[in-house]
Amino acid sequence: MTTSRFLAAYDQQLRTDAETPSAVAVERLGPVRLVTFGGGRGFVTYQDLAGAGADTVARWVAEALAFYRGDPAIVRVEWKTRAHDHAPGLHEALLEIGFEPDETESVMIGPASALSVKVDLPPGVSLRRVTEEPDIRAMSAMQDEVFGSSASDGNAEAILRRAALDDGMELWVAEHQGLIVSAGRLEPVPNTDFAGIWGGATREEWRGRGVYRAVTAARARAALARGKTLIHSDSTDYSRPILERSGLLRVSTTTPYRWRR
């Protein structure tokens, strides 16, 4: 498949309700989807903006934030943008109303079979799927540390709530002497060809030793076992080269804009 075909599949199959499987509620504002998640999180996404001009886009931004401001339980909102969208004035409208852009990531897509490879792990490192609460909390704490944030019970609780749904999500870790050194989750997307790989994090001293690649390969094998032929991921500059070497293509970029109460 070419980059354009991957991108078309991404827009058609993933930018629907499939993008937010654990949503508590979804409201519509024209083509814009206002999603509420547990833990006080709002999320704004859409398949496209229906050719809207800058004035309409700015109005949607203002109305979306007013919607979330009106719910005191919402403490943070993410507006997810994609570089290939036609969205005149969106960046300026988001900044003006108080959103701040976060790190831009690459939208990566490719065949799951390309990632399902044998990887030689460093001595003493092993892989396993985790399902029990203590393991999930330990995994979440490691990811918080790697991503430079304080360990958050809220993040762990969100993962535990999702795990309780038993909707296909899988959590994979690499361990050394009982310490989680790398982790990531697999998100099979119902009624599509896709599974997503998310939350990839590796302790700095273990990078460049094949550990993250092994965690990714384990998730790819799990995706294939579930009948998913394509993998997608929003990748940082750390993980993008690994996925590119395995045959995934950068089809676009995505930048989250964040607002906090």
- Read off the pLDDT band of 148 (50, 70, 90): confident
- Read off the pLDDT band of 232 (50, 70, 90): very high
Name the phi and psi angles at 21, rounded to 5. -65, -25
Per the CB < 8 A criterion, the answer to whether 238 and 248 are in contact is no
* CATH assignment of 3-105, among 1.10.3470, 2.60.120, 3.40.630, 3.90.120: 3.40.630
> Residue 201's beta-bridge partner residues?
183
Q: Does the pLDDT at position 149 exceed 80?
A: no
> Which conformational region is residue 100 in: left (phi greater than 0), alpha (psi within -120 to 50 degrees), or beta?
beta
The one-letter amino acid code at 242 reads I
Indicate the range of 109-123, 193-207, 234-248 predicted with least confidence: 234-248
The one-letter amino acid code at 58 reads A
**Domain range summary for the chain, segments of one domain joined by +:** 3-105, 110-253
Q: What percent of the chain has pLDDT over 70?
A: 98
* CATH assignment of 110-253, among 3.40.50.620, 3.40.50.300, 3.40.50.720, 3.40.630.30: 3.40.630.30
Residue 156: how many CB atoms within 10 A of its CB? 19
- Read off the pLDDT band of 1 (50, 70, 90): low
- Taking all residues of the chain, what is their mean pLDDT, rounded to a whole number? 94
Residue 162 CA, chain-centre distance (Å), reads: 14
Residue 51: how many CB atoms within 10 A of its CB? 9
Please determine whether the domains at 3-105 and 110-253 fall in the same fold group of CATH.
yes
- Read off the pLDDT band of 151 (50, 70, 90): low
Interval 51-100: pLDDT, tens = 999 999 999 999 999 999 999 999 999 999 999 999 999 999 999 999 99
The helix-helix angle for 54-69 and 90-97 (nearest 10°) equals 30
